[in-house]
Chains A and B, each alone.
Chain A
Amino acid sequence: MKSSAIAVTGLRKAYGDKVVLDGIDFEVAAGSVYSMLGPNGAGKTTTVNVLTTLMTADAGSVRVAGHDVATGIKQVRAAIGVTGQFAAVDELLSGRENLQLMADLKRVRSRDVVTGLLERFDLVESADKLVATYSGGMRRKLDLAMTLIGKPEIIFLDEPTTGLDPRSRRTMWDIVRGLVADGTTIFLTTQYLDEADELADRIAVLNHGRLVAEGTPEQLKRRIPGGHVRLRFTDPAAYRSAAATLRDATTDDETLSLRIPSDGSQRELRSVLDWLDSVGIEADELSLHTPDLDDVFLALTENTTKEAIAR
């Protein structure tokens, strides 16, 4: 299929008798952001390593940029850029020299490429300082800038914001959005749900080497009934009488709060409020919760963890 940048079917990989990827399938449309989400040890980095030709799969077919990673290594490598989990920058070179090294190796002759990237990533001021003096956020930015030399069509980002402060994370997100705007396909692994929610067109949840869910962020959220209205009381007596009246609500004795299921729409919220008025319940605090990816993620990975423990 021409429109998919990445197509994976039946991918398996084991180290000795430890199965890391247990037959996964997915497809990434060209020009989209695909995020693979999973806890530590789920197999995210192994997937990236196979897709980027660093490892060979035990079974299954993997096509990247239209080429099979087993038979078209050169073509695949020419089309991709990879930013690994740890900033792979050269500490004893300056930022500019790191970029120039990549440009030399890719035989990119123009000097403007390096200067342009330094400006784009806001690294001009430190361009001639040794990378050993850079902060974590600067290293990640430089790492990504190095990946962009030669204009790869598909970029793999393996946990690009792990260990970054909130501001640097947002900078990285903006950079990723900019790349997508230029038509680049992004394959992103992360353990942060907000990151996937923020950036991805489609999300795959990987747990114990299997894809336990796949879809758009909206589709995933709809799978989990987690929306509710939360009523909090300060007076234990008021709490107890409300709990007795509202039989449908889930109770939490510790925080003196009740949860009433709700889809979060204006109409339903009004009917809940009207009903509370009619039965004479007045909570000290009311808040509305829509299911977020955290709910989805916990629900999806919890079950399989329980299964694994039961086994």
Chain B
Amino acid sequence: MSTISTTLGDSAIMLRRNIKHSMRNPITMFNAILLPIVLMLMFVKVLGGGFDVGVSYIDYATPGLLVMAISYGLGATATAVNDDMTKGVINRFKVMDVSRGAMLTGHVVITTVRALVACAAIVGVAFLMGFDPGASALDWLGVLGVIVLLSFAASWLTVAMGLAAKSVESAGMATVPLIMLPFLSSAFVPAETMDTGVRQFVEYQPFTPIIETLRGLLAGDPSGGDTLAALAWCVGIAVVGYVWAISTFKKRA
């Protein structure tokens, strides 16, 4: 067997394992898919009425809720990766000469798939609550592209954090900033309404341009977002996550 087909074969075997894990762990599914929907209902039905954002609140909040749906799925990945590391499962695979990338890509792919399912659920519920996007088919494709790219990037960063953490608990904690960041962005209220200090942070953190790009695409006006900055952040996060993950993976036995 050639190296590439071995790697692909190993990755498929690992992905199958990760899919079984996700299906059998109700907490993972709850955190990744139901929790974002619960938060969505809270923001739109409970809090949203009090926010004045110029447009229908569901139209305003959906892009941010998509990003939040992605970040809520990350905790499960960090703890799963760390569990493999601390329980010796990764060492077992290493000694078996399983393709280096396969163990990590399995986690990245399942996280991305979970994020896509969560986002589909958010969009579905949004439509039920009167979501009225002006996006064309091409814009929707762009939305899908941004979601996949962000999930992929955040997954690599999360895998790295899971590998580097000393325990399952600290691995779970490590993803908390990623879960908090959407709240400190323009996800739920426009940045202009915030305090100066907070606003500056909001304007320069990665999720704001990403959310604005999604917002522009969903509104059918892609020029409204900061697409270039969004893409740069995603690529940057992916590269940092990947390099960190691979080097930690090699170092820790």
- What residues make up the interface of A, taking CB atoms closer than 8 Å to B? 49, 52-55, 73-74, 77-78, 80-82, 84-90, 92-93, 97, 101-102, 104-107, 130, 146
19 further A-B contacts with Cβ under 8 Å, apart from A54-B91, A82-B92, are A52-B95, A53-B95, A55-B253, A74-B97, A77-B96, A77-B97, A86-B88, A87-B88, A88-B87, A88-B89, A92-B20, A101-B13, A101-B17, A105-B10, A105-B93, A105-B96, A105-B98, A107-B9, A146-B92
- Decide yes or no: A93 and B95 within 8 Å by CB, A86-B87, A88-B87, A105-B13 being known contacts: no
How close is B241's CB to chain A, nearest CB, in angstroms? 24
- Decide yes or no: A88 and B20 within 8 Å by CB, A77-B95, A77-B96, A106-B96 being known contacts: no
B17 close to A93 (CB less than 8 A): yes
B25 close to A92 (CB less than 8 A): yes
How close is B28's CB to chain A, nearest CB, in angstroms? 10
- Decide yes or no: A54 and B94 within 8 Å by CB, A105-B10, A105-B13 being known contacts: yes
A84 close to B13 (CB less than 8 A): no
What are the residues of chain A within 8 A of B13 when measuring CB–CB? 101, 104-105
The number of chain B residues with a CB under 8 A from chain A is 21
What are the residues of chain B within 8 A of A90 when measuring CB–CB? 17, 89
How close is A132's CB to chain B, nearest CB, in angstroms? 9
With both beta carbons as reference points, the residue of chain A lying nearest to B6 in the complex is identified as A107
How close is A163's CB to chain B, nearest CB, in angstroms? 14
Q: Is B21 an interface residue (CB 8 A)?
A: yes
With both beta carbons as reference points, the residue of chain A lying nearest to B102 in the complex is identified as A105
In the A-B complex, list the 10 residue pairs whose CB atoms are closest, starting with the nearest: A88-B88, A77-B97, A54-B253, A88-B92, A84-B88, A104-B13, A82-B95, A92-B21, A88-B89, A92-B24
CA distance A93 to B95 in the complex (A): 20
How close is B251's CB to chain A, nearest CB, in angstroms? 10
With both beta carbons as reference points, the residue of chain A lying nearest to B99 in the complex is identified as A105
CA distance A130 to B21 in the complex (A): 11
What are the residues of chain B within 8 A of A97 when measuring CB–CB? 20
How close is B106's CB to chain A, nearest CB, in angstroms? 11
How close is A13's CB to chain B, nearest CB, in angstroms? 11
How close is A174's CB to chain B, nearest CB, in angstroms? 23
CA distance A93 to B87 in the complex (A): 14
With both beta carbons as reference points, the residue of chain B lying nearest to A45 in the complex is identified as B253
- Contact indicator per residue, chain B 9-33, by CB within 8 Å of chain A (1) or not (0): 1100100010011001100000000
What are the residues of chain A within 8 A of B91 when measuring CB–CB? 54, 82, 84, 88
With both beta carbons as reference points, the residue of chain A lying nearest to B89 in the complex is identified as A88
How close is A133's CB to chain B, nearest CB, in angstroms? 12
With a 10 A CB-CB cut-off, give which of A90, A97, A106 has the most chain B CB atoms.
Answer: A90
Q: Which of B167-200 contact A (CB under 8 A)?
A: none
What are the residues of chain A within 8 A of B88 when measuring CB–CB? 84-88
What are the residues of chain B within 8 A of A82 when measuring CB–CB? 91-92, 95
CA distance A206 to B9 in the complex (A): 41
With both beta carbons as reference points, the residue of chain B lying nearest to A97 in the complex is identified as B20
CA distance A92 to B96 in the complex (A): 20
What are the residues of chain B within 8 A of A52 when measuring CB–CB? 95
With a 10 A CB-CB cut-off, give which of A54, A74, A106 has the most chain B CB atoms.
Answer: A54
How close is A131's CB to chain B, nearest CB, in angstroms? 11
What are the residues of chain A within 8 A of B92 when measuring CB–CB? 82, 84, 88, 146
What are the residues of chain B within 8 A of A85 when measuring CB–CB? 88
With both beta carbons as reference points, the residue of chain A lying nearest to B86 in the complex is identified as A86
What are the residues of chain B within 8 A of A55 when measuring CB–CB? 253
What are the residues of chain A within 8 A of B24 when measuring CB–CB? 92, 130
CA distance A149 to B135 in the complex (A): 54
B253 close to A49 (CB less than 8 A): yes
CA distance A97 to B19 in the complex (A): 13
CA distance A177 to B25 in the complex (A): 38
CA distance A106 to B97 in the complex (A): 9
Q: Which of B96-153 contact A (CB under 8 A)?
A: 96-98
With both beta carbons as reference points, the residue of chain A lying nearest to B21 in the complex is identified as A92
CA distance A105 to B10 in the complex (A): 6
CA distance A90 to B89 in the complex (A): 7
With both beta carbons as reference points, the residue of chain A lying nearest to B83 in the complex is identified as A91
What are the residues of chain A within 8 A of B98 when measuring CB–CB? 105
What are the residues of chain B within 8 A of A89 when measuring CB–CB? 89
A-B contact pairs, 30 of them (CB 8 A): A52-B95, A53-B94, A54-B91, A54-B94, A54-B253, A55-B253, A74-B97, A78-B97, A82-B92, A82-B95, A85-B88, A86-B88, A88-B88, A88-B91, A88-B92, A90-B89, A92-B24, A92-B25, A93-B17, A93-B20, A97-B20, A101-B17, A102-B96, A104-B13, A105-B10, A105-B96, A106-B96, A107-B1, A107-B9, A130-B24
